[in-house]
């Protein structure tokens, strides 16, 4: 998996102007990535940082903070049947452990998402305000939804050893799930499994990748699918040195709202 550390600083970045900036962060069990932005311009970016480094530039007084939290498990609840009074019942679907907390938010017009997060991750970001947290891939989902998702395309975001698969039909989420994988062979297997469940013919289907994509993934997956492409949907203006697909999920957090803790 791609775990190289990347950093970027725009010459105009000035921490004394943090009150005009937005801080975006993606957290996982042992590391985090961040982007500091002004309007839609990327000013600073860092990946695979140790959780112990949640200070320094990140402790400034930013105009806005949005933190994407990883889920140990999640479930989508259709908005038409969602009842806030039944949230405790929905949470039982997640087999919540003592060291986990449950969060819920509206994912889009059609769905709410209820998900569980390790308490240690909640504690690590508490100083930024839990009101500023969202589901890790809400922005990624929103960015794809806003760019006319194609019905012959499966969207995949890769982050360390997890692959999130997303498919839209008639402009609405038809399928969304997450799988752990170790090799690109695993990735190809899950892609084929998802295509089969959606009754899509691999030879007519395009895979659109984003995130930490293994170098051999495009060639491996293109053996089975019509086309494999990098997702170019973007929420920020990026320098040429940063591929849009690599930072897509992090940048798209700028499209998000917030979660509610149970």
CATH number where 124 lies: 3.30.420.250
**In a shared domain, residues 131 and 72:** yes
Token pair of 221, please?
């997956």
At residue 234, the 3 state secondary structure works out as: coil
- 170 pLDDT above the threshold of 70: yes
pLDDT at residue 5 greater than cutoff 70: no
pLDDT number for residue 3: 55
The kind and range of the H/E element at 119 are helix 119-125
Question: Nearest-CA neighbor of 141 among 109, 114, 116?
Answer: 109
Position 7 scores a pLDDT of 87
Does residue 217 contact residue 205 with C-beta atoms inside 8 Å?
no
Q: Which residue has the tokens 């690109």?
A: 184
Q: How far is CA 78 from CA 11, 124, 137, 172, in A?
A: 45, 31, 18, 11
Share the mean pLDDT of the chain: 92
pLDDT level of residue 59 (50, 70, 90 thresholds)? confident
Q: Name the pLDDT band for 258 (thresholds 50, 70, 90).
A: low
Question: Which pLDDT belongs to residue 58?
Answer: 85
Query: Are 39 and 102 members of one domain?
Result: yes
pLDDT higher than threshold 90 for residue 145: yes
Query: Based on the domain organization, do 76 and 93 belong to the same domain?
Result: yes
pLDDT at residue 262 greater than cutoff 50: no
Higher pLDDT, 36 or 1: 36
DSSP per residue, 82-118: --GGGHHHHHGGG---TTEEEEEEE-SSSEEEEEEEE
Report d(CA 223, CA 62) in Å as an integer. 46
pTM over 0.85: yes
Is the pLDDT at 104 greater than 60, yes or no? yes
Domain limits for position 152: 148-231
- Do 226 and 237 belong together in one domain? no
Q: Are residues 34 and 14 in the same domain?
A: yes
Two structure tokens written together for 14:
């000035």
**Taking 80 as the threshold, does the pLDDT of residue 2 lie above it?**
no
Question: Is-contact 79 112, C-beta < 8 A?
Answer: yes
Query: Domain check: are 57 and 131 in the same one?
Result: yes
Are residue 69 and residue 180 in the same domain, yes or no? no
Q: Say yes or no to pLDDT of 78 above 60.
A: yes
Closest CA to 162 of 28, 5, 6: 28
pLDDT, position 235: 83
Total number of domains in the chain = 2
- Residue carrying structure tokens 């961040």: 34
Same domain, 76 and 186: no
Mapped onto helix, strand or coil, the DSSP state of residue 232 is coil
230 pLDDT above the threshold of 70: yes
- Give me the percent of the chain exceeding a pLDDT of 90: 78
15 and 70 together in one domain: yes
Question: What pLDDT sits at residue 228?
Answer: 97
Is 117 found in the same domain as 168?
A: no
In a shared domain, residues 227 and 166 = yes
DSSP letter assigned to residue 170: T
12 and 93, same structural domain?
yes
Residue 257: which pLDDT band, with cuts at 50, 70 and 90? low
Can you give the pLDDT at residue 165? 98
* Count of beta carbons in the 10 Å neighbourhood of residue 257: 11
Residue 57's pLDDT is 72
Asked if 46 and 25 touch (Cβ cutoff 8 Å), the reply is: no
> What pLDDT is attached to residue 4?
60
User: What is the domain-level CATH number for residue 217?
Assistant: 3.30.420.260
């Amino acid at each position: 998996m791609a775990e190289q550390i990347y950093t970027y600083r725009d010459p105009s970045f000035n921490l004394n102007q943090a009150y005009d900036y937005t801080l975006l962060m993606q957290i996982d069990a042992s590391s985090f990535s961040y982007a500091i932005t002004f309007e839609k311009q990327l000013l600073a970016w860092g990946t695979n940082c140790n959780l112990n480094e949640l200070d320094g530039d990140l402790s400034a007084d930013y105009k806005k903070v949005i933190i994407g939290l990883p889920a140990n498990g999640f479930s989508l609840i259709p908005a038409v049947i969602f009842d806030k009074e039944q949230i405790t019942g929905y949470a039982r679907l997640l087999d919540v452990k003592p060291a986990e907390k449950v969060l819920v938010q509206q994912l889009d017009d059609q769905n709410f998402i209820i998900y569980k997060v390790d308490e240690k991750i909640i504690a690590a970001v508490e100083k930024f305000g839990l009101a500023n947290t969202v589901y890790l891939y809400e922005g990624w989902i929103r960015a794809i939804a806003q760019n006319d998702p194609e019905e012959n395309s499966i969207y995949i975001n890769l982050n360390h050893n997890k692959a999130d698969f997303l498919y839209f039909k008639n402009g609405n989420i038809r399928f969304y799930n997450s799988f752990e994988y170790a090799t690109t062979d695993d990735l190809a297997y899950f892609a084929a499994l998802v295509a089969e469940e959606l009754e899509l013919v691999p030879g007519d289907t395009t895979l659109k990748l984003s995130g930490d994509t293994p170098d051999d993934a495009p060639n491996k997956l293109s053996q089975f699918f019509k086309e494999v492409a990098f997702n170019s949907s973007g929420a920020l203006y990026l320098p040429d040195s940063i591929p849009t697909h690599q930072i897509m999920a992090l940048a798209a957090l700028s499209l998000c709202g917030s979660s509610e803790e149970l």
